[in-house]
């Protein structure tokens, strides 16, 4: 019987048919020919034949712009900043860093430099705000039994220490220090990134999870004022403050992942101990174990 005929038989007849050696050889050769043919087609651009973008229509492209404007703006900004990056003049080593936040707060910097008493007053108020952040974060754990914000703060300050020591930036020119600024006493500090801003973000995110909207808005407002003050006194570069916002969000998310992982681990009994995980209404956990 011809091998090609056997190859194209319906599957239900092939199941009951014992192939001859000739038929097996013809099948192997046929598969080899198909592979060579597919390889040739791919080399001619056929590899994109089933690609998603080959199925796009004009309506699909316009729909992206209509229904997803934010990614489109980001795509345009990518092209814009590529042009900026590849054409700007680099700052020479002998010049101070360029900081747009410093440019925007020149008048405030001059005003605070001419009024040391006001500068110290604002520094003291900022220190009070830092203590408020610390008190709230510890309260959520020690009193309310919700450790997420505390874990996030521990993550954040640990990585801040690693990064701050790894790249020690020069103190900005025109820095306006104060003995009552946190850390109190004009001691040294890491510039990158801002722990003031990151801790405030962590506290604010927890407040919003607990629907403490007024308190969260108050913290966000104070955080903005804190950013303006730190730029005006040259206490941080703009990048320190911007990364501080991102760090607060990132480590809050990582703390949530940590909680979830511990719910799984401690929720499983072992031969030596029975562990019980109690989930609160707010998704946080309390773990107790007994021998």
- Strand (E) positions, the chain? 274-279, 285-290
**Is-contact 26 3, C-beta < 8 A?**
yes
236 belongs to the catalytic site: yes
* Catalytic hit among 17, 68, 99, 196: 196
Catalytic residue at 196?
Answer: yes
Catalytic residue flag (residue 240): yes
Burial zone of 266 (CB within 10 Å; 0-12 exposed, 13-18 middle, 19+ buried): middle
Widest CA span in the chain = 105
Catalytic residue among 181, 206, 240, 252: 240
Burial (0-12, 13-18, 19+ Cβ within 10 Å), 90 = exposed
Tokens of 247: 């760090």
Quote the CA–CA distance of 194 and 244 in Å, as a whole number: 5
Label residue 112 left, alpha or beta by phi (over 0 means left) and psi (-120 to 50 means alpha): alpha
Contact indicator for 111, 174 with CB cutoff of 8 Å: no
Q: Exactly one of 181, 206, 236, 252 is catalytic; name it.
A: 236
Are 1 and 8 spatial neighbours (Cβ–Cβ below 8 Å)? Answer: no
List the structure tokens of 14: 């092939």
Which active-site residues does the annotation give?
196, 236, 240
């Amino acid at each position: 019987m011809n091998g090609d005929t056997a190859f194209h038989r319906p599957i239900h007849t092939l199941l009951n048919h014992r192939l001859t050696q000739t038929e097996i050889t013809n099948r192997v050769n046929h598969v080899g020919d198909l592979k060579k043919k597919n390889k040739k087609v791919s080399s001619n651009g056929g590899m994109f034949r089933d690609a998603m973008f080959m199925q796009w229509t004009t309506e699909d492209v316009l729909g992206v712009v209509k229904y997803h404007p934010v990614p489109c703006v980001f795509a345009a900004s990518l092209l814009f900043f590529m042009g900026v990056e590849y054409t700007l003049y680099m700052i020479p080593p002998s010049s101070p860093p360029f900081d747009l936040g410093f440019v925007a707060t020149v008048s405030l910097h001059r005003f605070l430099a001419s009024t040391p008493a006001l500068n110290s007053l604002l520094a003291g108020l900022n220190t009070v705000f830092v203590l408020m952040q610390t008190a709230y974060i510890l309260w959520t754990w020690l009193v309310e039994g919700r450790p997420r914000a505390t874990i996030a703060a521990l993550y954040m300050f640990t990585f801040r220490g690693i990064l701050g020591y790894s790249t020690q930036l020069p103190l900005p020119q025109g820095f306006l220090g104060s003995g009552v600024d946190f850390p109190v006493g004009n001691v040294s500090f890491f510039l990158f990134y801002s722990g003031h801003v990151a801790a405030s973000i962590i506290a604010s995110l927890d407040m919003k999870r607990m629907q403490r909207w007024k308190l969260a808005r108050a913290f966000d407002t104070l955080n903005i004022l804190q950013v303006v003050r730190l730029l005006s006194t040259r206490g941080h570069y703009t990048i320190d403050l911007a990364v501080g916002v991102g760090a607060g969000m990132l480590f809050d998310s990582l703390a949530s992942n940590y909680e979830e992982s511990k719910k799984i681990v401690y929720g499983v009994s072992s031969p030596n101990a029975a562990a019980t995980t109690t989930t609160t209404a707010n998704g946080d956990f309390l773990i107790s174990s007994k021998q």
